[in-house]
Amino acid sequence: MKTKVRNIKFIAIHCTGTPVNQSIESIKEYWKKTLGWAAPGYHWIIKSGGERVQLIPEEMISNGVKGYNHEIINVAYIGGLVTKDHYADTRTYNQKLSMIILLRELKGRYPQAIIKGHYQFPDVHKACPCFDALSEYNDL
Ligand SMILES: [Zn+2]
The pLDDT, as a whole number, for residue 4 is: 62
Domain assignment present for 3:
no
For the chain, which residues score pLDDT lower than 70? 1-4
The pLDDT, as a whole number, for residue 108 is: 96
The pLDDT, as a whole number, for residue 85 is: 87
Which domain, by its residues, includes 76?
10-136
Domain assignment present for 5:
no
Q: How many domains does the chain have?
A: 1
The pLDDT, as a whole number, for residue 3 is: 55
For residue 88, how far is its CA from the centre of ligand 1 (angstroms)? 13
Domain assignment present for 1:
no
For residue 4, how far is its CA from the centre of ligand 1 (angstroms)? 25
Asked if 114 contacts 9 with a C-beta cutoff of 8 angstroms, the reply is yes
The pLDDT, as a whole number, for residue 99 is: 98
Say which amino acid occupies 49.
Answer: G
**36: domain CATH number?**
3.40.80.10
For residue 61, how far is its CA from the centre of ligand 1 (angstroms)? 15
Q: Give Cα separations from 86 to 17, 79, 100 (angstroms).
A: 10, 11, 26
Domain assignment present for 131:
yes
Domain assignment present for 122:
yes
Strand partners, 76: 14, 45
For residue 13, how far is its CA from the centre of ligand 1 (angstroms)? 7
The pLDDT, as a whole number, for residue 2 is: 52
